[in-house]
Copies of this chain bind each other. A is one copy, B any other.
Amino acid sequence: MYEIKKIGGGVCAPQGFYAGAVSAGLRPDGSDDVAFIYADTPCETAAVFTTNKMTAAPIRHYRKKGAFKSNFILMNAKNANAMTGPAGIDDIDEILDVLQEKYGVLENPVMSSTGVIGVRLPKAEIIEAAKGFDLTCRDSLGAAKAIMTTDTFYKMVSSEVVCEEGKRFRIGAIAKGAGMINPSMATMLCFVTTDADAPAAELQSALASVTPTTFNAASVDGDTSTNDTVMLFSNRKSGVFDAEAFREALHAMLLELAQMMVSDGEGATKLVTFHVTGAASDAEAETAAKALSNSLLMKTAIYGEDPNWGRVASTIGASGVTCDESTLTIAFDDVLVYEKGEILFDEATEKQAAAVMKREKFSICCDLGMGEGAFDAYGCDLGHEYVKINADYRT
């Protein structure tokens, strides 16, 4: 028996965690661009990284360490420190060495970066700014804002899990991500803190079990970045742990963050759930759902609020999954437009389906009629704003 409650506080909601942000002058408007999460005792750590083979320097730096306890994450926006070779890793060591000397309390600090690829980190600026951190500060919101890139809103959630006899632990998270969001992790960073009394192995397996149906089910543009990172730090301070409750809370939080990212997809105006059922297997349902969420023709039809169900059928057919027009059923929310070979799309249903597509959130439901496989993927529309944002990102 347990209860999961939403609370405030972000990554500072669990006991013993601190966060804050400063400006290194990397943004034209001078707003904060460098942030930290600090724990006053060493933490068990777990992480999931991008599948991109051109892994950015911060990820290589993290992986070099093997298993370790840490109590400090340094974050920066505006520069991904990717395609920077061994020098990019040396830059991280140099920055963190200075901070370890300055603060005296950092254990195995790590770094996480997002921004332009192929430019060396502005080391001096980041060091100078990071020297101004206040490690007693609990400004999770400031950190969430500092790591934003093309995000239009910050992403932060926290939960309290109440177990038997009122024993409780907390989980907090901040994240960033709006573009390059894709089924295999994307330029998204997510940092999760908890005071749950969870050993490292449990953290890692919980993270691995919830990412496939949360971040990896979300797509903005089908691109997978060099920097994608989800880190989970536990200082075990609550002395309480319930594996099932922990996973359930973590799943709900990461799903909420993933949906926030899709809603904030560059230029996106709609959050669409591609609800695939009746597939020959869960894997086939996932293939079909992700094909739909990534299809340019689907995304532009959604932008145009055009219930073009033919594109839904065609995209499923092109995805390679087991399917047949005589067993397929398609609905926009509860408006059936095609059922097992029968076209139900007429003037009346077109009007109803078009009304569904005017909603900010809706589902495109496809039953393949082949078996029991199911998967939900999350996507958004693609409109003029996406083109505007991405045609000239660097400048």
Contacts and interface: CB of A to CB of B under 8 A. Distances in A.
Contacts of A326: 85
Interface residues of A, number: 67
Interface string A159-190: 00000000000000000000110101000000
A311 interface: yes
A54 interface: yes
A226 interface: yes
Contact of A390 (B52, B226, B300, B341): B300
B118 A343 contact: yes
Interface stretch (A22-30, A138-146, A314-322): A314-322
Contact of A391 (B50, B51, B300, B315): B300
B392 A304 contact: yes
A395 B392 CA distance: 31
A215 interface: no
Interface stretch (A31-39, A193-201, A378-386): A378-386
Contacts of A154: none
A213 interface: no
Interface string A322-364: 0111101000000000100101010000000000000000000
B54 A391 contact: no
Interface string A286-314: 00000000111100110110101111011
A318 B184 contact: yes
Given A117-B313, A317-B52, A221 B390 contact: no
B395 A226 contact: no
A64 interface: no
A117 B345 CA distance: 12
A225 interface: yes
Nearest to A381: B391
B117 A303 contact: no
Contacts of A120: 343
A321 B52 CA distance: 10
B297 A390 contact: yes
Contacts of A222: 294-296
Nearest to A304: B391
Contacts of A280: none
A53 interface: yes
Nearest to A226: B314
Contacts of A80: 310
Nearest to A391: B304
B387 A310 contact: no
11 contacts: A55-B317, A82-B310, A85-B341, A117-B310, A117-B311, A118-B310, A221-B296, A223-B315, A225-B314, A297-B390, A382-B387
3 closest Cβ pairs, A-B complex = A117-B310, A304-B391, A54-B317
Interface of A: 50-55, 80, 82-85, 116-120, 179-180, 182, 184, 221-226, 294-297, 300-301, 303-304, 306, 308-311, 313-318, 320-321, 323-326, 328, 338, 341, 343, 345, 382-384, 386-387, 390-395
Given A55-B317, A119-B343, 4 more contacts: A52-B314, A52-B317, A296-B386, A301-B390
